[in-house]
Amino acid sequence: MRICDACHVHVRGSMDRCPLCGTKLRGEKEENVFPRLQMYDHMYRKIMRIFLFLSVIAVIVCLAANRVFVPDLFWSMFVLAGVVSFWISLYAAWKKKRNIPKGILWEMTVISILAVAWDMGTGWHGWSVDFILPILCTVSIGMMVVMARFLRLQLREYVIYMLMEIVYGLVVWILLLTHVIQFILPALVCVVCCGAALAALVIFRWELFHEEMQKRLHF
């Protein structure tokens, strides 16, 4: 059985890091309590390989068509960048599929970075900070609340990820105050949602919220 020195908990299975705080575990690994279902895993990998193959073929066809029909306009590079962005986003979702709150947070972060990169790469029109960042944050908080209700998750299972999304909303607020964001409506909705989420945690679940912060952040 593995042990977390930070949380002082025992973890069964072959995990390398503590599921609560992420600290590296010590001790001997055991056989996983819930073994992976190889059939579904194999099927999923096969489907992903088929989609990857089709993506590569699509990029090759676009590169060839670009070279033959419009050699002076490199539109195929946008297709290539779009396919790469899609697979990066999909990979992030796949890696965190067993922890839905963490998966939502990771997906929000990855898509935000990709959106800003696309905006900068196409001459910076500001659509990434005006629309994508605040809308992503608002949708992510909504998804977190809905999934918590639907899956009957306890607050301690997703509170740290909710707090990180609130911090993300704080970044949107700073961008709004510094006039980086020009179209303010999505940003205002985002800030209001983040403020409401923080107020709900502090007012209605303060004891549990404070306990989880002490446990996970060790302060």
For 86-102, how does the pLDDT look when each residue is reduced to its tens digit (9 = 90+)? 888 888 878 877 788 88
The whole-number pLDDT of residue 38 equals 54
- What SS3 state is found at 51? helix
Query: Region 29-56: what's the mean pLDDT?
Result: 74
pLDDT at 219 over 70: no
Measure the CA–CA gap between 176 and 187, rounded to whole angstroms.
7
Same domain, 128 and 204: yes
- Asked whether residue 85 falls in the same domain as residue 112, the answer is no
Domain count, the chain: 3
Instruction: Please check whether residues 47 and 106 belong to one and the same domain.
Output: no
Report CA-CA distances (Å) from 14 to 4, 100, 166: 13, 20, 32
DSSP 8-state assignment for residue 75: T
Average pLDDT, the chain: 85
- Full domain range(s) for residue 76: 36-95
Residue 158 in this model has a pLDDT that exceeds 70: yes
Q: What is the pLDDT of residue 100?
A: 83
Same domain? For 40 and 124 the reply is no
For 167-208, how does the pLDDT look when each residue is reduced to its tens digit (9 = 90+)? 999 999 999 999 999 999 999 999 999 999 999 888 887 887
Which pLDDT score, from 0 to 100, does residue 32 have? 66
CA distance 87 to 85: 6
* DSSP states of 167-214: HHHHHHHHHHHTT---S-HHHHHHHHHHHHHHHHHHHHSHHHHHHHHH
Percent of the chain with pLDDT over 70: 91
Co-location of 52 and 67 in the same domain: yes
Q: Are 207 and 159 a contacting pair, CB within 8 Å?
A: no
Buried b (16+ CB within 10 A) or exposed e, 58-74: ebeebeeebeeeeeeee
The b-or-e profile of 117-130 (16+ CB within 10 A means b, else e) is ebbeeeeeeeebbb
- pLDDT category of residue 212 using cuts at 50, 70 and 90: confident
Residues 137, 65 share a domain = no
The answer to whether residues 6 and 75 belong to one domain is no
The pLDDT tens digits for 8-40 are 777 777 777 787 777 788 887 776 665 555 555
**DSSP-assigned states of every residue in 115-146:** HHHHHHHTT--SHIIIIIHHHHHHHHHHHHHH
- Does residue 43 share a domain with residue 31? no
Alpha-carbon span 78 to 89, nearest angstrom: 16
- Mean pLDDT (whole number) for 139-148: 88
Angle at 143 between CA 147 and CA 111, to 5 degrees: 130
pLDDT value for 117: 92
138 and 213 in a single domain? The answer is yes
pLDDT at 169: 94
Q: Same domain for 134 and 219?
A: yes
